[in-house]
C-alpha cells in the first residue's frame, strides 16, 4: 500500500505515522554541544591554551614545575588580555551580535573552564611559596614577583571572562529579554552597550560586589551575578591572604 503525500509540516515515523517536524528536532535545552566548534569560535582561548602548554613544555626542567606553569600561565594570560582589549576597541555591536550567535555552544562551559584555570593558578602560587623559604634573597624575590604578576593576571582573567559572558548573554537574548538594563537605555532607545560597558559591569561586581548604576532584570543574569560575586569574594580573600604572605616574605 502506497502512503499518501505527507501533510505540510509533518514527517513520517518508522511506523508510518505522521509526526510534526518539531518533534524530530533537538530542543534548545538539550542541543548537543560541540567542544571543537566552541573552541574554534574562540581563537583567543586556543592561543591562550597553546601558549601555556607550549611554554610549560619548553621551559628548562631545572625550574620547579610550579614555576614553569606560572610563567607559562602569565605569558598566555598577557597575550589573551591583549587580544581581548584589541577586540573591545575594534568590535562594534554588529560584530558582538554575530559572536553571540556563533559562540552560543559551550558558552557556560568555556566560562567555567577559564575560572577553574584561574583558581588553579592560585593553587600553584601556594605550592610556589612552599618552596621559597630557604632560597637566597634574590631568587626568593623573583618568586615573589612571579606570584604577584600571576595574582594580577588571574584576577583580570576571571572578570574579563565574566564580562565577555555577560555580553554574550545580552546579545543572544536581545530580541526577547537581555536581562541587563544600562542607564543610557532609558534616555535613548537606540543605546547598545559595547564590550567596555560589560567590562565596567564586571569590574564593579569583582571589586565592589555591587552593580552600581546598572539594573539586573532577569533571573538568569541574577544567577550568574550570584556566582560571580561569591567567586569574587573568595578570590579577593585568597588574594589578600597571599598579599600578606608576600609582604611578610619581602620584610
pLDDT digits (tens, 9 = 90+) for 46-96: 888 899 999 999 999 888 888 898 999 999 999 999 999 999 999 888 888
Q: What is the spatial distance between Cα 100 and Cα 164, in angstroms, rounded to a whole number?
A: 10
Assign 189 a pLDDT band (cuts: 50, 70, 90): low
**Can you give the pTM of this predicted structure?**
0.77
Does 93 reside within a domain?
yes
DSSP 7-34: PTTEEE-TTS-EEEGGGGSPPGGGPPP-
31 pLDDT exceeds 50?
no
Task: Give me the pLDDT at residue 128, please.
Answer: 74
Average pLDDT over residues 189-214: 86
Average pLDDT over residues 113-137: 76
Does 18 reside within a domain?
no
Residue 168: other Cβ atoms inside 10 A: 21
Q: Which domain holds residue 167?
A: 35-250
Does 13 reside within a domain?
no
Domain count, the chain: 1
Q: What is the spatial distance between Cα 73 and Cα 127, in angstroms, rounded to a whole number?
A: 15
Does 9 reside within a domain?
no
199 pLDDT exceeds 90?
yes
Contact 204, 124 (CB under 8 A): no
Residues 6+ apart with CB under 8 A from 44: 80, 83, 84, 87
Residue 66: other Cβ atoms inside 10 A: 20
Q: At 20, which helix (H) or strand (E)?
A: strand 18-20
Q: Between these two residues, 96 and 23, which has the higher pLDDT value? A: 96
Task: Give me the pLDDT at residue 83, please.
Answer: 92
Q: What is the spatial distance between Cα 31 and Cα 230, in angstroms, rounded to a whole number?
A: 29
Does 16 reside within a domain?
no
Task: Give me the pLDDT at residue 113, please.
Answer: 76
C-alpha cell at 202: 564586571
Q: What is the spatial distance between Cα 87 and Cα 85, in angstroms, rounded to a whole number?
A: 5
Does 99 reside within a domain?
yes
Does 3 reside within a domain?
no
Q: What is the spatial distance between Cα 2 and Cα 66, in angstroms, rounded to a whole number?
A: 71
207 pLDDT exceeds 60?
yes
Task: Give me the pLDDT at residue 196, please.
Answer: 94
Task: Give me the pLDDT at residue 22, please.
Answer: 39
Task: Give me the pLDDT at residue 79, please.
Answer: 94
Does 1 reside within a domain?
no
C-alpha cell at 63: 625550574
Assign 37 a pLDDT band (cuts: 50, 70, 90): low
Amino acid at each position: 500500500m502506497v502512503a499518501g503525500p505527507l501533510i505540510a509540516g509533518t514527517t513520517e515515523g518508522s511506523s508510518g505515522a505522521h509526526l510534526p517536524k518539531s518533534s524530530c528536532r533537538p530542543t534548545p535545552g538539550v542541543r548537543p554541544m560541540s567542544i571543537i566548534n566552541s573552541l574554534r569560535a574562540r581563537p583567543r582561548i586556543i592561543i591562550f591554551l597553546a601558549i601555556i602548554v607550549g611554554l610549560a613544555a619548553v621551559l628548562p626542567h631545572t625550574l620547579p614545575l610550579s614555576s614553569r606553569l606560572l610563567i607559562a600561565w602569565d605569558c598566555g594570560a598577557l597575550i589573551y588580555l591583549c587580544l581581548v582589549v584589541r577586540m573591545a576597541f575594534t568590535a562594534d555591536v554588529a560584530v558582538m551580535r554575530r559572536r553571540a550567535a556563533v559562540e552560543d555552544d559551550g558558552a557556560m562551559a568555556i566560562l567555567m573552564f577559564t575560572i577553574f584555570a584561574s583558581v588553579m593558578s592560585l593553587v600553584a602560587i601556594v605550592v610556589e611559596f612552599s618552596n621559597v623559604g630557604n632560597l637566597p634573597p634574590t631568587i626568593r624575590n623573583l618568586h615573589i614577583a612571579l606570584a604577584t604578576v600571576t595574582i594580577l593576571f588571574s584576577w583580570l582573567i576571571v572578570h574579563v571572562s565574566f564580562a565577555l559572558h555577560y555580553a554574550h548573554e545580552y546579545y543572544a537574548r536581545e530580541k526577547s529579554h537581555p536581562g541587563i538594563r544600562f542607564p543610557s537605555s532609558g534616555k535613548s532607545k537606540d543605546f547598545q552597550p559595547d564590550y567596555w560597558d560589560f567590562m565596567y559591569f564586571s569590574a564593579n561586581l569583582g571589586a565592589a560586589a555591587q552593580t552600581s548604576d546598572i539594573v539586573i532584570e532577569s533571573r538568569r543574569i541574577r544567577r550568574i551575578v550570584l556566582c560571580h560575586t561569591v567567586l569574587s569574594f573568595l578570590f579577593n580573600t585568597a588574594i589578600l591572604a597571599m598579599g600578606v604572605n608576600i609582604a611578610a616574605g619581602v620584610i
